[in-house]
Amino acid sequence: MSTFQAPKGTYDLTPPRSAKFLAVREAISAPLRDSGYGYIETPGFEDVNLFARGVGESTDIVSKEMYAFETRGGDKLALRPEGTASVLRAALEANLHKAGNLPVKLWYSGSYYRYERPQAGRYRHFSQVGAEAIGAEDPALDAELIILADQAYRSLGLTEFRILLNSLGDKECRPAYREVLQDFLRDLDLDEETRRRIEINPLRVLDDKRADVQKQLVGAPMLRDHLCDACKAYHEEVRVLLTAAGVVYEDDEKLVRGLDYYTRTTFEFVHDGLGSQSAVGGGGRYDGLSEMIGGPALPSVGWALGVDRTVLALEAEGIELPIPAATSVYAVPLGEEARRVLFGVVTQLRREGVAADFAFGGRGLKGAMKSANRSGARFTIVAGERDLAEGNVQLKDMESGEQEAVALADVTGTIRGKLSASDG
């Protein structure tokens, strides 16, 4: 074993488990690709102020969890703790919003970094698939994104997740509510840090998970009672569209999410099989974020779903994803001439779109057949000097155990025929 190990709070993805993560990424992105979302990729690090301004100075993410550093050239950068600010920055820089087709719909997949206390389902490096719809204020867009996430989870077979929904109001109605909430919170028995949060972003106090804080929050003024008519109507339309689409959700008036940029619609996907880290994904509308980072007014909405958490949710429900074998055909040569001939057959099969592998390292028949078994291949090709002298190879069906001699010239066509017959 190497003397080096993965850093604390991180993990390596290795086969066969990595195939599950790939399948989850594919399932989450498939509905997005079918709904007009284009793929975007951004750097793993950005200017630290992008997150300080966009995500919010008062958030735990910026104040405690961000990996920030200074480069040799004196630039202050941070590893990205979330995806939205980076994607919006990239869209603005590329002037995607000026192409005349709003909203700009984008999806992404990648690693994110937060210096957190590691525990099951919470890592310092984690993987997400996200989607952003930039430049349109439309309740149908909010509903679309929630429906697509619901569709992705259901396509994986998940059933025990819940969708929590709330509205955070907008710049018209939230300031008045903020004052009422601050007045209520200032009278409570809270620690210094929480008191500081009351002044910067009091909504975050509602999100405090500590029992002694939650006990004191009973009777706190609720945002829904202070929403302006426009926000009420907007939220009601999102709810109507979700219900019409058959998507079940729960109203959660305390749902604020951990980022400062959210306005109006906010939502979370939770799975009760995951213990304290029950959120598997979430998002919301962020109508003012573009201006916060120096762009024009571009009302937008998006979400991010945790790949790690989704895999844990699948395991909690006992769902095994149907992951096909990586190899369909495994070639076992016996002797030098057979090595050259069968390597040529494997190369040809791959060119014809058949997943094929080869017994490397010159092992004997017994060891090579064990490798063929472990590869999950449906067929094995075996050939020695006598077979080649007769112009044949031995083709073994690994499911039935049947073996037959096949002419070397016909082997790729025969295998393709058998594979398509078994798929059909």
Let me know whether 67 and 129 are in one domain. Answer: yes
Q: Which parts are annotated binding residues?
A: 82-84, 114, 128, 132, 257, 261-262
CATH number assigned to the domain comprising residue 261: 3.30.930.10
Is residue 298 a part of any domain in this protein? yes
Is residue 153 a part of any domain in this protein? yes
- What pLDDT score does 424 carry? 61
The sheet with strand 68-70 has its strands ordered as: 45-47, 76-79, 68-70
Mean pLDDT per segment of 10 residues, for the chain of length 424 residues? Answer: 86 91 96 97 94 70 81 94 94 94 96 84 89 97 98 96 93 85 87 84 80 86 88 96 97 75 90 84 92 92 95 94 90 94 96 95 89 93 94 94 93 91 72
Q: 396 and 330 in contact (C-beta within 8 Å)?
A: no
- What pLDDT score does 260 carry? 64
Let me know whether 138 and 104 are in one domain. Answer: yes
Expressed as residue numbers, the domain containing 273 is 17-173+227-316
Let me know whether 255 and 289 are in one domain. Answer: yes
CATH number assigned to the domain comprising residue 400: 3.40.50.800
- What pLDDT score does 194 carry? 85
Is residue 186 a part of any domain in this protein? no
Let me know whether 250 and 371 are in one domain. Answer: no
- What pLDDT score does 63 carry? 66
Report which DSSP code applies to 17.
Answer: H
Query: What angle separates helix 17-33 from helix 139-155, to the nearest 10 degrees?
Result: 150
Let me know whether 63 and 128 are in one domain. Answer: yes
Name the residue among 256, 268, 273, 357 with its Cα closest to residue 314. 273
| Element of type H or E holding 394 | strand 392-397
Is residue 220 a part of any domain in this protein? no
Is residue 321 a part of any domain in this protein? no
Let me know whether 240 and 112 are in one domain. Answer: yes
Q: Total structural domains in the chain?
A: 2
Let me know whether 303 and 266 are in one domain. Answer: yes
Cα 154 from chain centroid (whole Å): 15
Let me know whether 348 and 294 are in one domain. Answer: no
Let me know whether 258 and 350 are in one domain. Answer: no
Is residue 322 a part of any domain in this protein? no
Structure token digits, residue 137:
């204020």
Let me know whether 277 and 366 are in one domain. Answer: no
Question: In sequence order, what are the residues at sequence separation of 6 or more whose Cβ sits closer than 8 angstroms to the Cβ of residue 295?
Answer: 88, 92
- What pLDDT score does 232 carry? 94
Q: Among residues 275, 291, 316, which one ends one of the domains?
A: 316
Let me know whether 38 and 147 are in one domain. Answer: yes
Structure token digits, residue 375:
């590869």
Cα distance between residue 139 and residue 6, in whole Å: 43
Q: Which parts are annotated binding residues for L-histidine?
A: 82-84, 114, 128, 132, 257, 261-262
Q: Among residues 285, 316, 347, which one ends one of the domains?
A: 316
Let me know whether 311 and 334 are in one domain. Answer: no
The sheet with strand 356-358 has its strands ordered as: 356-358, 329-333, 379-383, 392-397, 403-407
Is residue 204 a part of any domain in this protein? no
Q: Among residues 316, 338, 373, which one ends one of the domains?
A: 316
Half-sphere exposure of 174 (CA within 13 A, CB side): 17
Specify the amino acid at residue 138. D
Is residue 189 a part of any domain in this protein? no
